[in-house]
Structure 1
Amino acid sequence: MSRVVVAVGASSGIGRVVAREFARRGDRLVLAARAPQALEEVRAECAAEGAEALVVPTDITAPGALEALAAAAVDRFGRIDVWAHTAAVTAYGRFDLLPGRVFDQVVRTDLLAAAEAARVALRHFRSTGSGTLVLTGSVLGHITAPYMSCYVAAKWGLTGLVRSLQQEVRDAPDIHVCLVSPGSVDTPIYQRAANHLGLVGRPPPPIAAPERAARAIVGCVERPRREVSVGRLNPLMRLGFTCLPGLYDVLVGPLMRRLGLADEAVAAHDGVVFTPDPGSESVRGGWLPDLGNVLHTAATLPATIGARVLRRAR
């Protein structure tokens, strides 16, 4: 039987791939994000896979918005089996120079709204006796980095929240709470970030494809796990942070400036922290080659060359 999946943050990045992955499995989807036009594009992508999808434009920081989202899902499909929450924003800036309103909104979006989503989802799962909640954390929920204090604070809070929730649902064996914690992923979040640092942010290597993170989220639904880390160096970074804190703190600043920031200057701006940018609602940020497109181009190249040769011969 197909599942009913609420996918929050489905308009771009990891969340957009998550929606496609569930669609390929024949699940019914409720797509939520702030950008209606992008959600309609995702709905069409899911329909192309044969999946039914409901679009519910949602600002997750608005009071009552997540309860309304759940109500729309139940009204359309009768239940919720999975809640996959990937929505997030970030900001660059030295803590004392980052506007408080930006810091607060990042925490409101990445932690408090995620907590409200968990509250809404778990209440529904408790009423039905089963369900899986997957929240998206970060390796920065286990380590720290300069110039991203709001994101770090939110993701550390989310990691602690998930651990508490996992303890609380031990009395309900058919209810699962999972955390997927990626490192650097090739999504638009870096370009869309608020920036009050003066230098453009970028994902430090190694960079994972969004499809890898999305598969981890779907995998948690099919085989629930407490936490899945996505990123080859995540365990090493966590080990250094925990076991060699002095050395870690000496190295993390220079490494962040060299690998996590570009030399390109940028004027202060708020990115998509407060309002969406429909033009940036893509899956990838352009930091890695899209291997799917590369393979498709390679497969069609002989036919393309052949057609051109025939046209010239005529």
Structure 2
Amino acid sequence: MTQHIAPLERSTIVLCGASSGFGRGAALELGRRGARLVLMARRQAALADLAGAINAAGGQAIATAGDISRAGDVAAVAAAAVEGFGGFDIWINNVGIGALGLFWDIPVEDQARVIDVNLKGLMFGAHAAMRQFRAQGHGVLVNVGSIDSEVPIAYQTTYAATKAAVLSLGRSLNAELRLAGLGDRIRVGTVMPWAVDTPWWNHAANYTGHAPRMAAMDDPSLVVDAILRACTDPQEEMPVGPKARAANLSHRLFPDLTERLSSTVAHREVQKADPLAPTAGAIYTPSTAPADIGGGVRARMRAEDADRT
């Protein structure tokens, strides 16, 4: 365990991107383990329901709706943590949106929105966290990146670029903390999942002409476990699961081959999916669908594959 970091049951945790996907799963598990939570997401009703469920089960959670791409909203979440719990020990930047399609087919406004959320938003969160951590002398920042942080992939160009930047942000922050003499008390870990069956795929902007899918998707529980592990044992690079670890190693050893293979797989998966009209998804306006942990993508993929046999 990182020095000066309390166990989860005695920690206060800010969790951005908590309403659905593995953010929701992590919030429920952290609440069950006794952590005090300050939850952030755009969907106010979903966030309030989540906080209510955690509190009803004996945990402690505060819901503060906001958009991480707005510096003022991020500052308000940090202030809520200070006001409600006297500060925070861990900040989890679990926010990411996507725009699927060939780069030139995706409107530039959608590309810019991905950068605003996935990079600028995480930078805002990291800045708020570092200010608090330096003031109190300890803390853990957990950034949720992707295996795309290491392995670029077709049909997700801007998303992969932002996730590469998230990994670089964590590396650079750890370097600066070491130079400031704080490296043993303040740490930054980057969680790097493989493709995961969450609502992310249904919320993404999509200009592929097909429903979203990817080969060999992982279950959200695998990433939930990794996020919790990162809270007390953060590593600069944390590929999640065998597929992500294999892809990470393969790219280090055979970068060109790995990139060709990953993009070929992505292309083949796109071609297998049912037709879908172009959509901006939920990247600008929050989804009105139920706030679930899973996305139901694997079940749809099985049905699509069965129809073709």
Contact 1:91-1:150 at 8 Å conserved across structures:
yes
Superposed CA RMSD = 1.7
Structure 1 residue 261 displacement after superposition: 5.5
Contact 1:204-1:260 at 8 Å conserved across structures:
no
Select which of 191, 207, 212 maps to 2:202. Answer: 191
Select which of 55, 71, 75 maps to 2:83. Answer: 75
In the aligned structure 1, how far is the partner of 2:271 from the partner of 2:127? 36
Structure 1 residue 254 displacement after superposition: 2.9
Amino acid across the alignment from 1:11: S
Query: Which residue of structure 2 lines up, in the alignment, with residue 92 of structure 1?
Result: 100
Select which of 71, 83, 94 maps to 1:63. Answer: 71
After TM superposition, the score normalised by the length of structure 2 is 0.88
Structure 1 residue 85 displacement after superposition: 1.4
In the aligned structure 1, how far is the partner of 2:204 from the partner of 2:81? 30
Query: Which residue of structure 1 lines up, in the alignment, with residue 294 of structure 2?
Result: 284
Amino acid across the alignment from 1:286: G
Change (3 A) 1:158 1:76: same
In the aligned structure 2, how far is the partner of 1:250 from the partner of 1:121? 37
Select which of 34, 37, 47 maps to 1:26. Answer: 34
Runs of 5+ unmatched residues, structure 1? 290-314
1:35-184 matched pairs, under 5 angstroms: 35-170=43-178, 171-172=181-182, 173-184=184-195
Question: Could you tell me the percent identity over the aligned residues?
Answer: 33
Runs ≥4 residues deviating over 6 A: none
In the aligned structure 1, how far is the partner of 2:24 from the partner of 2:131? 25
Change (3 A) 1:218 1:268: same
In the aligned structure 2, how far is the partner of 1:227 from the partner of 1:245? 17
In the aligned structure 1, how far is the partner of 2:175 from the partner of 2:225? 25
Query: Which residue of structure 2 lines up, in the alignment, with residue 304 of structure 1?
Result: none
Query: Which residue of structure 1 lines up, in the alignment, with residue 3 of structure 2?
Result: none
In the aligned structure 2, how far is the partner of 1:261 from the partner of 1:169? 46
Deviations 1:246-293 (A, max 9, x none): 43344334311223564211111101111101315211011458xxxx
In the aligned structure 1, how far is the partner of 2:151 from the partner of 2:74? 29
SS of 2:134's equivalent in the other structure is helix
In the aligned structure 2, how far is the partner of 1:88 from the partner of 1:27? 23
In the aligned structure 2, how far is the partner of 1:259 from the partner of 1:88? 21
Asked if 1:236 corresponds to 2:236, the answer is no
Query: Which residue of structure 2 lines up, in the alignment, with residue 8 of structure 1?
Result: 16
Structure 1 residue 231 displacement after superposition: 2.8
Q: Which has the larger radius of gyration?
A: 1
Runs of 5+ unmatched residues, structure 2? 1-8, 300-309
In the aligned structure 2, how far is the partner of 1:70 from the partner of 1:247? 43
